[in-house]
């Protein structure tokens, strides 16, 4: 790892993502350069279609840019083969999605354990660790329940426990409060803030200005370009209602 960049976990340089459908091409990302350092809490905001999910998918190593470069924890992601990329992703990133993406047939404990399977941890240890993570999000007593026996906010807490299973440096959350009422959304946000206080880097996508305002840093996209990158209190940080 480059010593000089030790602190920079996410580095996008001049990233373009162009979707070609027939005659038309959409510049979903149009020259995005961005650095996120260890310990930051950043919110990516912008109107629908501005490129937030495209940006998150590239940061999450789930998609490749059309051009540009991406370094994650010092590693040049775009030059890696799929196997190396998957390893880096599992080691460095934890994902949280709007729709929780829990496996309906598995109980909560098994859902969290599944995230540790790939790391090759022995079964007994996985189980113990899974219970501990569920305890951290206040759901130890529901470990044997299946996801649809839980409220939305509880399911999202399981997703947080699952995201933490691999001890990732970075939590990536795409609209984690999007399916929740505002009170429950605030509770989920409080968990993410707590993780950040404990040293984890959090990158969050949100439509909700009230949620975004609680981040230290707001990155605002418009038509695939960064039009604002700074503290949450500036008027430019706010996305107009659609």
Within positions 37 to 56, which residues make up the interface with ligand ATP, using CB under 6 A?
46, 48-54
Distances from the Cα of 74 to the Cα of 8, 71, 160, angstroms:
7, 6, 25
For Mg ion, the closer CB: 53 or 201: 53
199: enclosing H helix or E strand:
none
**Is the CB of residue 217 less than 8 Å from the CB of residue 42?**
yes
Place of tokens 């027939």: 22
**Under rule CB under 6 A, how many of the chain's residues touch ligand ATP?**
12
Nearest to 164 by CA among 90, 91, 94: 94
Apex 152 CA angle, 146 and 158, nearest 5: 55
Nearest-angstrom CA–CA distance, 194 and 64: 31
201 binds, among ligand ATP, Mg ion, none (CB under 5 to 8 A by kind): none
The option from ligand ATP, Mg ion, none interacting with 68 (CB < 5 to 8 A, set by class) reads none
Measured from the CB atom, is 4 or 48 closer to ligand ATP? Answer: 48
Which residue shows structure tokens 């706010």? Answer: 238
Q: Name the residue nearer to ligand ATP (CB basis): 113 or 174.
A: 174
Site string for ligand ATP, 184-203 (x = CB under 6 A): --------------------
1 to 40: interface string for ligand ATP, x by CB under 6 A:
------------------x-x----x-x------------
Closest to 94 measured CA to CA, from 44, 129, 59: 59
Q: How far is the CB of 50 from ligand ATP (least distance, A)?
A: 4
Q: Residue 53 Cβ, how far from Mg ion at the closest point, in Å?
A: 3
Q: Taking a C-beta distance cutoff of 8 angstroms, is the pair 228, 203 a contact?
A: no
Q: Rule CB under 6 A: say whether 206 interacts with ligand ATP.
A: no
Identify the helix (H) or strand (E) that includes residue 49: none
53 binds Mg ion (CB under 5 A): yes
Min dist. Cβ of residue 52 to Mg ion (A):
5
Q: How far apart are CA 43 and CA 221, in angstroms?
A: 11
**Residue with smaller CB distance to Mg ion, 52 or 126:** 52
* Contact residues: ligand ATP, CB under 6 A: 19, 21, 26, 28, 46, 48-54
């Amino acid at each position: 790892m480059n010593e000089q960049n030790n602190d920079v976990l996410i580095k996008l340089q001049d990233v373009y993502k162009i979707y070609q459908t027939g005659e038309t091409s959409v510049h979903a990302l149009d020259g995005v350069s961005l650095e996120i350092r260890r310990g930051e809490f950043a919110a990516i905001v912008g109107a629908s279609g501005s490129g937030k999910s495209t940006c998150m998918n590239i940061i999450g190593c789930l998609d490749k840019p059309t051009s540009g470069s991406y370094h994650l924890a010092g590693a040049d992601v775009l030059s890696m083969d799929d196997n190396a990329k998957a390893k880096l992703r599992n080691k460095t990133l934890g994902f949280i999605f709007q729709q929780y993406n829990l496996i309906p047939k598995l109980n909560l404990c098994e859902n969290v354990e599944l995230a540790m399977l790939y790391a090759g941890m022995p079964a007994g240890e996985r189980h113990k660790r899974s219970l501990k993570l569920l305890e951290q999000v206040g759901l130890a007593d529901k470990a044997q329940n299946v996801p649809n026996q839980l409220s939305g906010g509880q399911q999202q807490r399981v997703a947080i426990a699952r995201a933490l299973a691999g001890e990732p440096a970075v939590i990536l959350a795409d609209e984690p409060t999007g399916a929740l009422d505002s009170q429950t959304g605030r509770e989920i946000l409080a968990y993410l803030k707590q993780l950040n206080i404990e040293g984890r880097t959090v990158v969050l996508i949100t439509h909700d200005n009230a949620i975004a305002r609680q981040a230290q840093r707001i990155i605002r996209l418009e038509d695939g370009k960064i039009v604002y990158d700074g503290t949450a209190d500036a008027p430019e940080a706010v996305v107009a209602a659609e």
